[in-house]
């Protein structure tokens, strides 16, 4: 069955009666929303309205990429839902004056690792209202986000993390989130093995050893359990485990995704700069198993062959595969100096040298001697490796259907340096839309709102009401000044909020007002998939 291509991705093939029922329900919902939206935008709400709304966003330029609408409207919000769009002023218990500002759907980040209070703050100040850990994922999924439980500023959720499942199956270590700050041991081997594993112990069994047949089956059950518990797909950071993962294990992961009709988020194996073998491996397995696939940070894997990778994804979609991809608008990578990727011939893989890598804490550039010293004696430290060309990032940004993400690393405190990805969305709108003029505002917004919402909504009903500004949609809104919006964080000083984000509404509550965080605004919810169980 050939799948028609759309801006954000092909329609999901219908494999089961249950899936058909879900799509019919979604279609009915979309038709209803479209009708309601057209009626409201045509002026149905312009007549005198005796109702007072919980919150009104007054006089802003509403941009709704899902429908293409662009016009001045008042937005009426009640009980966390958009219930009115009007050309005439609406009355509200609270009114935000958005005159001269853009009112857009809240930004949806499909790729973040910073499920911390500080990370949520900086993402919120970048206009993000939903932040998801889908590349690395988590296991168990219901414990993801424990650091911000009951105090979440924005919505969050995760895929089920194959990497965490592998860690437990091979070494008996339970680590909900691979990039979390503290491991929790399973059994007697826990703490010491975790320290060796995560901070440079060699050899690193979880990254280098092939799994046994029994271990693979153990992982299969864990992935299936995670999906039953409400995981948003399966997260596969394969590149970091390249040496240890054979075809049998990788095929198992794709088989689970195909059988469960869910989506697999994969960081493909990365070869020498531009090698497409990792992409082709993922596309082949997707074709053979029927799995839906999302390729993480395309230009950081494709490098000099970004155009080739984009073309092969385009051709795969035309052939009926359900595959999408993403970009982050920064031309460097960041990882622990002890990461497995630096145990390979990383200078050839990235086509860089020691001097292209900096120590995140100080900005020091390496030579061979300092590299060997720091890798041996400071394995817990973060490095930034500059290897992506601006041309590759622009190619990915201009490709139809490519989604914008942040790939934000954990922000623990403001003394621990991280890559400055907390300005990803503002960077797109400030530097590529306004300053460079290479992409229009509506298209750019679609890549951070309606496209990710549609990609997730094809599988998880919670996203059917996100990523849009229309009647019936969730009241997650980002209100910004298009003449001022800009990222300000740098590699040397990452802890700077974006400029131009005036107000952010999460779940109908004002979370940012006048560019400042609102104390006690914790309307963020943990988003689960439809199969979640109590």
- 339-376, pLDDT tens digit by residue? 878 988 999 999 999 999 999 888 999 999 999 999 99
Contacts for 161 with CB less than 8 Å, ≥ 6 apart: 136, 137, 138, 139, 176, 177, 178, 226, 235
Tens of pLDDT along 107-132? 999 999 999 999 999 999 999 999 99
Sorting pLDDT into bands at 50, 70 and 90, what band is 22?
Answer: very low
Least Cα distance to 142 among 526, 531, 495 occurs for 526
Q: What per-residue confidence (pLDDT) applies to 531?
A: 56
Query: pTM of the predicted model, to two decimals?
Result: 0.87
Residue with tokens 């970091």: 240
Q: What per-residue confidence (pLDDT) applies to 207?
A: 87
Sorting pLDDT into bands at 50, 70 and 90, what band is 418?
Answer: confident
- C-alpha–C-alpha distance, residues 76 and 194, integer Å: 51
Q: What Cα–Cα distance (Å) separates residue 160 from each residue in 146, 234, 247, 451?
A: 15, 5, 20, 22
pLDDT of 262 higher than 70: yes
Q: What per-residue confidence (pLDDT) applies to 492?
A: 82
- Averaged confidence pLDDT in the chain: 87
Arithmetic mean of pLDDT, 316-326: 98
- C-alpha–C-alpha distance, residues 523 and 467, integer Å: 17
Q: What Cα–Cα distance (Å) separates residue 366 from each residue in 16, 300, 371, 488?
A: 55, 21, 6, 26
Tens of pLDDT along 56-90? 999 999 999 999 999 999 999 999 999 999 999 99
Please state the length of the chain. 534
- C-alpha–C-alpha distance, residues 417 and 319, integer Å: 44
Arithmetic mean of pLDDT, 310-334: 96
Q: What per-residue confidence (pLDDT) applies to 226?
A: 97
- C-alpha–C-alpha distance, residues 232 and 219, integer Å: 17
Residue with tokens 């052939």: 319
Sorting pLDDT into bands at 50, 70 and 90, what band is 213?
Answer: very high
pLDDT of 530 higher than 90: no
Q: What Cα–Cα distance (Å) separates residue 434 from each residue in 59, 70, 444, 450, 467?
A: 22, 17, 11, 20, 22
Three-state secondary-structure class, residue 453: helix
User: Residues of the chain with pLDDT > 90: what percent?
Assistant: 75
Q: Which domains does the chain have, with CATH numbers?
A: 109-466 (3.20.20.140)
Q: What per-residue confidence (pLDDT) applies to 415?
A: 82
**pLDDT higher for 387 or 13?**
387
Q: What per-residue confidence (pLDDT) applies to 42?
A: 38
Q: What per-residue confidence (pLDDT) applies to 428?
A: 98
**pLDDT higher for 409 or 526?**
526
Q: What per-residue confidence (pLDDT) applies to 180?
A: 66
- C-alpha–C-alpha distance, residues 4 and 114, integer Å: 35
């Amino acid at each position: 069955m050939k799948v028609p291509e759309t801006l954000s991705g092909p329609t999901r093939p219908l494999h089961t009666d249950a899936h058909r029922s879900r799509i019919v329900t979604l279609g009915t919902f979309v038709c209803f929303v479209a009708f309601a939206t057209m009626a409201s935008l045509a002026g149905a709400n312009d007549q005198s309205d005796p109702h007072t709304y919980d919150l009104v966003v007054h006089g802003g330029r509403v941009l709704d990429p899902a429908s293409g609408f662009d016009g001045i409207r008042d937005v009426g919000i009640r009980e966390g839902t958009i219930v009115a769009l009007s050309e005439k002023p609406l009355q509200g218990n609270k009114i935000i004056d958005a005159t001269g500002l853009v009112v857009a759907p809240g930004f949806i980040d499909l790729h973040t690792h910073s499920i911390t209070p500080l990370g949520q703050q900086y993402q919120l100040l970048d206009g993000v209202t939903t932040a998801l850990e889908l590349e690395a994922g988590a296991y168990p999924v219901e414990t993801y986000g424990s650091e911000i439980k009951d105090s979440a500023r924005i919505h969050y959720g995760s895929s089920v993390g194959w990497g965490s499942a592998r860690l437990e199956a091979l070494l008996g270590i339970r680590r909900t989130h691979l990039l979390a700050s503290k491991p929790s041991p399973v059994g007697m081997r826990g703490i010491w093995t975790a320290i060796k594993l995560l901070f440079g112990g060699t050899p690193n069994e979880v990254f280098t050893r092939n799994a046994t047949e029994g271990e693979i089956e153990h992982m299969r059950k864990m992935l299936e359990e995670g999906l039953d518990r409400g995981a948003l797909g399966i997260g596969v950071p394969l590149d970091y485990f390249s040496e240890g993962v054979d075809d049998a294990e990788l095929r198992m992961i794709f088989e689970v995704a195909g059988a469960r009709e869910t989506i697999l988020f994969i960081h493909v194996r990365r070869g020498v700069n531009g090698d497409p073998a990792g992409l082709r491996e993922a596309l082949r397995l997707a074709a053979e198993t029927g799995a839906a696939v999302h390729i993480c940070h395309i230009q950081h894997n494709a490098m000099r062959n970004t155009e080739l990778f984009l073309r092969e994804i385009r051709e795969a979609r035309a052939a009926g595969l359900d595959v999408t991809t993403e970009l982050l608008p920064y031309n460097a990578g960041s990882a622990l100096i002890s990461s497995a990727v630096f145990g390979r011939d990383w200078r050839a893989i990235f086509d860089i040298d020691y001097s292209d890598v900096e120590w995140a804490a100080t900005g020091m550039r390496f030579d061979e001697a300092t590299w060997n010293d720091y890798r041996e004696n400071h394995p817990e430290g973060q490095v930034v490796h500059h290897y992506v060309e601006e041309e590759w990032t622009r190619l990915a940004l201009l490709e139809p259907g490519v989604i914008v993400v942040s790939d934000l690393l954990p922000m623990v405190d403001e003394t621990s340096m991280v890559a400055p990805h907390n300005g990803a969305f503002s960077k797109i709108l400030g530097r590529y839309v306004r300053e460079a003029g290479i992409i229009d505002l509506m298209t750019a917004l679609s890549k951070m709102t309606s496209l990710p919402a549609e990609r997730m909504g094809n599988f998880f009903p919670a996203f059917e009401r996100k990523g849009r500004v229309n009647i019936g949609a969730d009241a997650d809104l980002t209100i910004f000044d298009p003449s001022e919006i800009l990222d300000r964080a740098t590699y040397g000083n990452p802890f700077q909020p974006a400029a131009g984000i005036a107000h952010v509404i999460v779940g109908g509550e004002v979370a940012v007002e006048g560019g400042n965080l609102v104390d006690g605004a914790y309307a963020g919810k943990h988003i689960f998939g439809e199969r979640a169980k109590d």
